[in-house]
Amino acid sequence: MELCTILQPECTTCATPGSKKKVLELISNLVAAQYPPLSSQEVFESLLAREKMGSTGIGNGIAIPHGRLTTIDHPIAIFIKCEEAIAFDAIDKQPVDLLFALLVPADQCQQHLGTLSSMAQKLSDKQILKQLRKTHDATELYQVITE
């Protein structure tokens, strides 16, 4: 699945959330603003439920929070660059500054494991990471991540 089909420019941002909880709330608010039938609370609870099973901080300053929703019929992605890295309980104990969040329909989880895997692979490319971290605004961030 092409990233630009699930990640809208409006769901890409640079921010300074300050904490893991705040960045999950930011993701939830961005989703709710772009997809009005969804409530930010519903999205937040889905992301939090997954984090309680284990951190989605995969190391190297990257986290891939994700959740399942019964109220959507297509995947929704969010990409955030934190201006200041935040503690995220990542596997390497390092703070996180790049987050790719994915919300998927509850009945289609298997189909979207490939999306998570391909994003993790893309974010393991040192050149892409360098470009992402050099971006100055959401437009530039979106262009780099969807190339």
pLDDT tens, position by position, 63-101: 999 998 998 888 899 999 999 999 999 999 999 999 999
Gap between the Cα atoms of 53 and 104, Å rounded: 17
Band (12; pLDDT cuts 50, 70, 90): very high
Q: What is the pLDDT of residue 110?
A: 66
Q: Report the candidate in 15, 66, 17, 19 with the shortest Cα–Cα distance to residue 43.
A: 66
Instruction: Classify strands 57-59 and 62-63 as parallel, antiparallel or unpaired.
Output: antiparallel
* Superfamily name with CATH number, domain 10-146: Mannitol-specific EII; Chain A (3.40.930.10)
- Asked if residue 25 has pLDDT above 70, the reply is yes
| Catalytic annotation, pick one of 66, 74, 112, 136 | 66
Q: What is the pLDDT of residue 116?
A: 76
The average pLDDT across 101-108 equals 87
66 tagged catalytic: yes
